[in-house]
Structure 1
Amino acid sequence: MKRDPTFTFLFLLFYFLNHSTGGLSLSPDGLSLLSLKSAVDDSPGAFSDWNSDDSNPCRWSGVSCMNVTGSPDPRVVGISLSGKNLRGYIPSELGNLIYLRRLNLHSNAFSGSIPAQLFNATALHGLFLYGNNLTGALPTSICNAPRLQNLDLSNNSISGSLPDEFKNCRQLQRLILADNELSGEIPAGIWAEFDNLIQLDLSSNKFSGQIPNDLGELKSLSNTLNLSFNSLSGRIPKSLGNLPVTVSFDLRSNNLSGEIPQTGSFSNQGPTAFLNNPQLCGFPLQKPCSSDSPGNSGEAEGQSETTPSGSGLKKGGLSSGVIILISLADAAGVAFVGLVIVYLYWKKKDESGGCSCTGKGKFGGGGGGGGGKFIRISICPAFGCCVRGRDSAAEDAAAEGEGGGGGGGGGESGEGELVSMDKGFSFELDELLRASAYVLGKSGLGIVYKVVLGNGIPVAVRRLGEGGEQRYKEFVAEVMAIGKVKHPNVVRLRAYYWAPDEKLLISDFVSNGNLATALRGKNGQPPSSSTLSWSTRLRIAKGTARGLAYLHECSPRKFVHGDIKPTNILLDAEFRPHISDFGLSRLVTITGNNNNNNNPSSSSSGFMGGALPYLKSAQTERPNNYRAPEARIPGNKPAQKWDVYSFGVVLLELLTGKSPDLSPTSSSAVEVPDLVRWVRKGFEEENPLSEMVDPTLLQEVQAKKEVLAVFHVALGCVEVDPEVRPRMKNVSENLDRIGT
């Protein structure tokens, strides 16, 4: 039941008349705080130590104070009572706290309107009232607090329009009004005043009218411009293309129409940003614009400018230009079919042969010349039995000596083959099988060995399952896609071996362990404080972001990694990062070695190409706190935004030195099960940077600005809504700007 403000006054008056000594001893800030206690319905737990007999309220739970110039006593600068299930109203007396910098009352059940007098607290920096039941209009006095930087009133029932007075909030950095009942048009002509705004979220309201052109003047904006789930109409202003290229648009579920502009930052947007606008057309939507598209006047003129005279369709038939194009297409089709036939012919000849476990070469099952080399490998018990080597860079061109017998190739014959993916990285099969090997680790993603070839080059060999003999083509297709990934920050697959009872992946060996070991130490030993300086951590973050962006945007398959975490980020001798274990989930499924496939946090992570101690037994399944919230729901299809979230958690670990998933090999790591929430709370409460950053970085004072910038990038990555998270390409570009 809502309590009348008059009751607050009467309550305080009655209290002071009966406790004159105690009441007079309480500071003015304490008296203002008691108004909040009296405005809240019965909630003894939250205010159990709010004792009016105290001389000042600085020891009360949820209250923070500091010494200020000109005041003999500490003054209240922060109130944090979030998530306490408090019911009541927000008293106007809180505006008397002239030194109040942050007010956190989010995730409660406060009702009523936001009092206009609250913004008499002119020192207010952050106001977090989201997740309540607040109603009424937005106070026009909001900008009376000239230092207000963070305003989050989302997930309430606030109604009315967005007042023009907002143009006076020039220090605002984050304006989040999502999930309310706001209506009317988004004011135009005020956004050029917001020189510091980095986040604007007006989604899930009832805004109508057109998108203001001057939103394109928000030069400091980063992350996402979110106007989704409103009733906005008209064309999308081309001026939005002037926004920084790192900005992602979210214009879903409106009534926008016409062609999507193709200038500036529009080129970086995916189709998701424009979904559920039936009258929108053009790239990146799969809906071409026509001359009769709404708001698409001038389309015919555009066609006449770009179409040469006399070409295209003519009434009554095709032009000569179109006929020539069709003829060329037919010729190309015939040539392609011919190439396929030639390829199949030579593949058939290459695949003929048999297998002998005698240790001697045999070609064609009957007699015949010398083709591939067969090795009896019982001397190397790590791998299977009978194999045949082949270098795909120098295929057995001399098929002319083959006999007529023998089974087919690949999985059909029972014969194995070693295929090199890189012409510059060739070796004989017997080099691999005769070399000494030792185990680096084993898990549901296979056993991994370090093998030193005859030329002294070490490689990492992952042994997958023994099944999947009927899925040879699928296996090869997946491996070939992985093998085409060539990036300096991604572990390189060099070769593969396939046989019905043995599958091996040969990749580069990365010698300096992984990021988890570098951050947390290993075997119970703490990491060296000098190992990961800030410049090294920033270099690791940038390199990992580039590698992930490549996998997402430029790789042949546009891979989703699905399990980004420090153990999957390998480090070389110069501490350059190399992403490992991408694309393995599908291979594990094909080979049938998925006993541990449902435990992505198992010990396998990071073993592809990495030097880790041999784990003699399977580890206890642990929750993977690097995974995105939607990735933890069974049945959800992996998406690239999963990787963005996981990378954001890795960034937070680099910054704070705190692990969301305590390493089983280290007892020295500081575990914060919900690292994301811990960091968000620290920023909401404006805690000193020294309380959040890794203590080993505090000596590098010059890095403070860079550290803050990386924090902002990380917090954008770990947004709960995957659509709000930036693309890895944008994340990488943002990081590359830091420290340059």
Structure 2
Amino acid sequence: MKLNNTIIHFFLLLSWFQCTLSSDIQALLALKSSIDPSNSLQWYETDYCKWEGVKQCLNGRVSKLVLENMNLTGTLNSTTLIQLDQIRVLSLKQNSISGQIPQLSGLPNLKSLYLSYNNFSGKFPASLTTLHRLKTIVLSGNHLSGVIPDSILNVKRLYVLYLDDNRFTGKVPPLNQTGLRYLNLSNNQLSGKIPATPVLVRFNSTSFSGNSDLCGNAFNIPCGLAPSPATTAPYRRSHRHRRIRNTVIIAGCAGGVLLLCILIALLLSIMCCKKSQQKSTEFSVKGEKVAAVGDGGGGGGGGDDGEGGFTLEGDDSGVVGKLVFFDGGEGAETGYSLEDLLKASAETLGRGTLGSTYKAIMESGFIVSVKRLKDARYPSVEEFRRHVDVIGRLRHPNVVPLRAYFQAKEERLLVYDYFSNGSLFSLIHAIRCVLIKKPDV
């Protein structure tokens, strides 16, 4: 009798698992039918975890869906989306999806939402304020209106909030989430005095520019005075602004071919000089050229230790590389790839006997520390993989965990969490200097 019960339970569990998988397939196909009338998505394979845009599955369930810049139209349906209840990252940015943003309260695991540069209208989706695991909200470049609700304070883990280039009105909410690091409310119709909360005063006027009736002495936007042109300069240009800029550039090129030829000749001369002074390696990832990390490169950023970062130089060596995350790593949840890492703005944190360390800030706002090893030839590929596998499994309160690594023919990178308190060396020596300082007489 016991055996019979066990068999029954097994088949019930198997039936439930199959129904769950089929629900994800049905949800994806329903989503395709509502936003892909031009059939841009070629979803025909048996394994839907390999479908275009399905970047990750956990236990056979879709956890990361990225459908960006694919000319998608139509509207979103909440009934369809909430069937994907295991999704962590949802990105539909740079499309032409319209209508209101649907209720998403049925996605309790959602951490990152990217719906920027579409044609969404209506009010701020209040259902987002009920998602307690949500960290990233990017709704830039739409037609959203109404007020930004104070209930957004309920999103305690908020890390990125981009609402720029919309039509929001009313006051700026008194945001107080200590984890908030990236904020952009520019180019809306907000008004009143900006709350000078300890969190908001971290940001300068560019986070609030383009709102003519907004003021705040703590943000260099004097109340009662018209904002200066520098204050109202847009912080981020939408796709509409970029189209206007491109039109101006094309018109200027048509009228000044001779000047353009001179500039190109100068640019080629400069590039030749730079190539003669710098050696770099380029490798291929998924058939596209992606640059390696190089000392002295101009990826952006800068600090006390000087500028450095990721370069885009070299010849086609045909070496294939892959960014490998360890179990429990943050890469999959925050939605960054090798290409995102190499396109990140970076600054040199220091150089040691093993290599150089960089602070890399990706477009999504996620920050990591990248260690580029000096000699990528030794040990061998397999031996290196065995070493980092051991290091990647180490977990101790006083040891920074290794989150991911990359290796190619002549490149090896180690990716760690970024800590803003400086290096252990500087902290130890700063304490030592305090201890040995002579008292004033």
TM-score tier by shorter-chain length is: 0.5 to 0.7
1:109 to 92, 96, 99: 96
- In the alignment, the residues of structure 2 paired with residue 714 and residue 211 of structure 1 have an alpha-carbon distance, to the nearest angstrom, of 25
Q: Structure 1 residues 646, 186: CA separation in 2 closer, same or farther (over 3 Å shift)?
A: same
SS in 1 for 2:156: coil
- In the alignment, the residues of structure 2 paired with residue 76 and residue 105 of structure 1 have an alpha-carbon distance, to the nearest angstrom, of 15
Q: 1:344-390, CA deviations, whole angstroms, 9 ceiling, x for partnerless residues?
A: xxxxxxxxxxxxxxxxxxxxxxxxxxxxxxxxxxxxxxxxxxxxxxx
2:208 equivalent to 1:217: no
2:185 to 202, 213, 216: 202
- In the alignment, the residues of structure 1 paired with residue 224 and residue 20 of structure 2 have an alpha-carbon distance, to the nearest angstrom, of 65
Alignment of 1:137-148 (within 5 A): 137-148=123-134
Q: Structure 1 residues 596, 683: CA separation in 2 closer, same or farther (over 3 Å shift)?
A: farther
Alignment of 1:635-650 (within 5 A): 646-648=298-300
Work out whether residues 21 and 61 of structure 2, in 8 Å CA contact, stay in contact via their aligned partners in 1. no
SS in 2 for 1:87: coil
2:46 equivalent to 1:60: no
- In the alignment, the residues of structure 2 paired with residue 60 and residue 78 of structure 1 have an alpha-carbon distance, to the nearest angstrom, of 12
- In the alignment, the residues of structure 1 paired with residue 200 and residue 101 of structure 2 have an alpha-carbon distance, to the nearest angstrom, of 27
SS in 1 for 2:169: strand
Cα drift, residue 231 of structure 1: 2.4
Cα drift, residue 259 of structure 1: 11
- In the alignment, the residues of structure 2 paired with residue 114 and residue 101 of structure 1 have an alpha-carbon distance, to the nearest angstrom, of 17
Alignment of 1:36-75 (within 5 A): 36-46=31-41, 48-50=42-44, 54=46, 57-67=48-58, 73-75=59-61
2:148 to 139, 142, 162: 162
**Which residue identity lines up with residue 182 of structure 1 in the other structure?**
F
**Which residue identity lines up with residue 44 of structure 1 in the other structure?**
N
- In the alignment, the residues of structure 2 paired with residue 649 and residue 669 of structure 1 have an alpha-carbon distance, to the nearest angstrom, of 28
- In the alignment, the residues of structure 2 paired with residue 31 and residue 713 of structure 1 have an alpha-carbon distance, to the nearest angstrom, of 32
**Which residue identity lines up with residue 103 of structure 1 in the other structure?**
L
Q: Gaps spanning 5+ residues in structure 2: where?
A: 1-17, 234-261, 280-289, 292-296, 322-330, 344-353, 368-417, 427-441
Work out whether residues 120 and 142 of structure 2, in 8 Å CA contact, stay in contact via their aligned partners in 1. yes
**Which residue identity lines up with residue 192 of structure 2 in the other structure?**
G
Cα drift, residue 26 of structure 1: 5.4
Specify the alignment match of 1:350 in structure 2. Answer: none
Q: Structure 1 residues 182, 661: CA separation in 2 closer, same or farther (over 3 Å shift)?
A: same
- In the alignment, the residues of structure 1 paired with residue 52 and residue 77 of structure 2 have an alpha-carbon distance, to the nearest angstrom, of 18
SS in 1 for 2:113: strand
2:121 equivalent to 1:135: yes
Count of aligned positions: 291
Alignment of 1:624-703 (within 5 A): 646-648=298-300, 659-663=311-315, 667=317, 686-687=335-336, 692=341
SS in 2 for 1:602: helix
**Which residue identity lines up with residue 105 of structure 1 in the other structure?**
L
- In the alignment, the residues of structure 1 paired with residue 263 and residue 92 of structure 2 have an alpha-carbon distance, to the nearest angstrom, of 47
Q: 1:260-293, CA deviations, whole angstroms, 9 ceiling, x for partnerless residues?
A: 9xxxxxxxxxx875368xxxxxxxxxxxxxxxxx
- In the alignment, the residues of structure 1 paired with residue 116 and residue 142 of structure 2 have an alpha-carbon distance, to the nearest angstrom, of 7
Work out whether residues 209 and 231 of structure 1, in 8 Å CA contact, stay in contact via their aligned partners in 2. no
The TM-score normalised by the length of structure 2 is 0.54
Specify the alignment match of 1:191 in structure 2. Answer: 175
Q: Percent identity?
A: 27
The TM-score normalised by the length of structure 1 is 0.34
Specify the alignment match of 1:532 in structure 2. Answer: none
2:113 equivalent to 1:123: no
Specify the alignment match of 2:71 in structure 1. Answer: 85
Cα drift, residue 98 of structure 1: 2.0
- In the alignment, the residues of structure 1 paired with residue 360 and residue 270 of structure 2 have an alpha-carbon distance, to the nearest angstrom, of 26
- In the alignment, the residues of structure 2 paired with residue 224 and residue 203 of structure 1 have an alpha-carbon distance, to the nearest angstrom, of 9
**Which residue identity lines up with residue 210 of structure 2 in the other structure?**
F
Larger radius of gyration: 1
- In the alignment, the residues of structure 1 paired with residue 143 and residue 364 of structure 2 have an alpha-carbon distance, to the nearest angstrom, of 30
2:26 equivalent to 1:35: no
Cα drift, residue 148 of structure 1: 1.1
Work out whether residues 123 and 146 of structure 2, in 8 Å CA contact, stay in contact via their aligned partners in 1. yes
**Which residue identity lines up with residue 710 of structure 1 in the other structure?**
A
Q: Structure 1 residues 210, 691: CA separation in 2 closer, same or farther (over 3 Å shift)?
A: closer
Alignment of 1:243-254 (within 5 A): none
SS in 1 for 2:82: helix
- In the alignment, the residues of structure 2 paired with residue 736 and residue 225 of structure 1 have an alpha-carbon distance, to the nearest angstrom, of 23
Specify the alignment match of 1:98 in structure 2. Answer: 85
- In the alignment, the residues of structure 2 paired with residue 61 and residue 40 of structure 1 have an alpha-carbon distance, to the nearest angstrom, of 15
Specify the alignment match of 1:268 in structure 2. Answer: none
Specify the alignment match of 2:360 in structure 1. Answer: 710
Q: Which has the higher strand share?
A: 2
- In the alignment, the residues of structure 2 paired with residue 101 and residue 83 of structure 1 have an alpha-carbon distance, to the nearest angstrom, of 20
SS in 2 for 1:159: strand
- In the alignment, the residues of structure 1 paired with residue 210 and residue 37 of structure 2 have an alpha-carbon distance, to the nearest angstrom, of 37
Work out whether residues 200 and 224 of structure 1, in 8 Å CA contact, stay in contact via their aligned partners in 2. no
Cα drift, residue 710 of structure 1: 2.9
- In the alignment, the residues of structure 1 paired with residue 278 and residue 144 of structure 2 have an alpha-carbon distance, to the nearest angstrom, of 56
1:228 to 203, 206, 209: 209
Alignment of 1:163-562 (within 5 A): 163-187=149-173, 190-192=174-176, 194-214=177-197, 216-218=198-200, 221=202, 225-234=206-215, 236-238=216-218, 240=219, 256-257=223-224, 273-274=230-231
Cα drift, residue 200 of structure 1: 0.7
Specify the alignment match of 2:371 in structure 1. Answer: none
Q: Gaps spanning 5+ residues in structure 1: where?
A: 1-22, 68-72, 241-248, 261-270, 277-592, 613-624, 627-644, 672-681, 695-702, 718-733
**Which residue identity lines up with residue 137 of structure 1 in the other structure?**
K
RMSD between aligned residues: 4.6
Q: Structure 1 residues 217, 159: CA separation in 2 closer, same or farther (over 3 Å shift)?
A: same
- In the alignment, the residues of structure 2 paired with residue 259 and residue 137 of structure 1 have an alpha-carbon distance, to the nearest angstrom, of 28
Q: 1:8-52, CA deviations, whole angstroms, 9 ceiling, x for partnerless residues?
A: xxxxxxxxxxxxxxx979522222222211212512231x2256x
**Which residue identity lines up with residue 133 of structure 1 in the other structure?**
N
Work out whether residues 233 and 257 of structure 1, in 8 Å CA contact, stay in contact via their aligned partners in 2. no
Work out whether residues 206 and 230 of structure 1, in 8 Å CA contact, stay in contact via their aligned partners in 2. yes
Q: Structure 1 residues 712, 107: CA separation in 2 closer, same or farther (over 3 Å shift)?
A: closer
**Which residue identity lines up with residue 231 of structure 2 in the other structure?**
F
